[in-house]
Amino acid sequence: MSGVPGTVWVDDVGRLRKLELSCDLGGIAAKLGAPAGSQPKIGLTIELYDFGIPVDVRAPSAAEPAVT
């Protein structure tokens, strides 16, 4: 099984506060015919905060897109 390397930050009560992931796509790119020397990478950082803050969320109707 393979994985994606990452780093997580957890606060003093065990909640995930930050997640950083990185993935080197060089092997995949080479198999797809990318030029030699290509170094495609993906990086993702997610920060989580404001735990316990009330929110007002309404589901869209069937006629509305979920993202506007």
Q: Where are the beta strands (DSSP E) in 1-68?
A: 6-10, 16-24, 41-47
Per-residue pLDDT tens digits for 5-44: 899 999 999 999 999 998 888 888 888 888 887 888 889 9
Q: Give the global pTM.
A: 0.61
CA nearest 34: which of 26, 24, 42?
26
The answer to whether residues 54 and 45 touch, using CB atoms and an 8 Å cutoff, is no
User: What is the per-residue pLDDT for 56?
Assistant: 92
DSSP class of residue 49 equals -
